[in-house]
Every structure is written in C-alpha cells, then in structure tokens.
Amino acid sequence: METKIENFTSRMAALMGRLRREMNGAVVESMQRAGVRGMLNYGVSIPTLRAIAREQGSDHAFARFLFKQQVRELRLAAASIAEPSRVTPSEAEEWVAGAGSLEIVDEVAMCLLSRASVEVHRAMTDSWLRGEDSLRCYASLMTLNRTLIPAEELFPAIYDLLKRFPEDRNVARAALAYSTFHYGAYALEEFPDTPSGRFVREELHALFA
C-alpha cells in the first residue's frame, strides 16, 4: 500500500513536470541578477502558479510537504493549496519563518494568512507587531491589510514599528502598503520622523496629494 509520503512524492513529481512546462528562462536570469538565489527557480509567474495550484485542490498536509522543498514555485503554490482554517498561530510562524524570500512571504500573507482565523490575526496584532522580529512584523502588515481588524487599532502599532525599525525598508514598505490601502484613517503627520516614517509620509503624499 502506498504511504502518504510516497503519495506526496509522486504528486510533487507530477507537479514539478507541470511547472517545468511553464518555465521562463528570462525571468530566472533576471531574478538571479537581482540576487534571488538559494532555491530552485523556474521563473513561473504568480498568476500561472495560482492557476496550477487550483488544479491541486485544497490539501493542507500536501501543502506543508511542498513548502519544505527548496523550490520557489512549490513554496508559492503551497500557499494556495493549504487550508486557511487549519492554520494556528504557531503554524503561521512556521509559514513565515520558512518562506525563504519576501516574494513567498507576500504570497503566504495574501493567499493563506489573510484568510486564516481571527485567532491568527489577533496573534499578529497582540504579539507579532510588538516583537523584534522584523520579518514577522512585515508579514503581519501584509496580512492584516486584508482583514477586518480596524485600521484605527493598527496605526499606533505601525507608528511604533517605524520608530523601532527606523532604517528597515521592508518594514517601511509593508507600512506603506497598509497605509495606502487604509489611507484616510490616519493623518500623514502622525508618522514618526525617522527614515522609514519619512519614506511612508513622502510616498503617501505623492500618491494622494
């Protein structure tokens, strides 16, 4: 009888074959020139990956298996194959810590964590955003801008983040993404006078002035 791991391995092999047919060498080269290295990369576009992932259906255990592989496309596809309702706060940390790139964190945040339980979202607001792990802070903002957590509740935490990580451009980018989505809930002058805070203010002013 075929074991679950054997089943996952054969399914992954079939999926890899599907991905290879969509390989884009020019994208792979451009990503390598930009410094994206460390895992196998076929250069498949995000929309194509999501369509391929939909063909797999929802399978949380298979998604976790794929996410452990050193393949960009498998990790990205896993975010769409996983089941949001099964993600716990501790598992959410594993998805973020094991992503391997901001691109994958973004996809995990949008396709999986933003659709997870309120318990997961509250862990982000009550713990992640107050910690010293800038990647978890980044993932929190990229997740929470697609949830029902009130913006008025999060902007004080964003202010604090821009003070605690004054030079972190990734945190600033996440703060900008959130603030752009919720523009009008907070005044521009309320962002701190730090390099990251000024970056957010200036970008918002350019967008909405």
pLDDT of residue 29: 65
What are 134's two structure tokens?
């800038």
Most confident of 3-12, 68-77, 184-193: 68-77
DSSP helix/strand/coil, 44: coil
pLDDT > 70? residue 59 = yes
pLDDT tens digits, one per residue of 66-90: 999 999 999 999 999 999 999 999 9
pLDDT of residue 73: 95
Report pTM. 0.90
CA 137/CA 170 separation, integer angstroms? 10
pLDDT tens digits, one per residue of 135-173: 999 999 999 999 989 988 899 999 999 999 999 999 999
Can you tell me which residue has the tokens 């020139």?
A: 33
Classify residue 160 as exposed, middle or buried by CB count within 10 Å of its CB (0-12, 13-18, 19+): middle
- Helix-then-strand count for the chain, H and E: 12, 0
pLDDT > 80? residue 48 = yes
CA 205/CA 197 separation, integer angstroms? 12
Predicted confidence band of residue 185 (pLDDT cuts 50, 70, 90): low
pLDDT > 60? residue 1 = no
Question: What mean pLDDT, rounded, does the chain reach?
Answer: 90
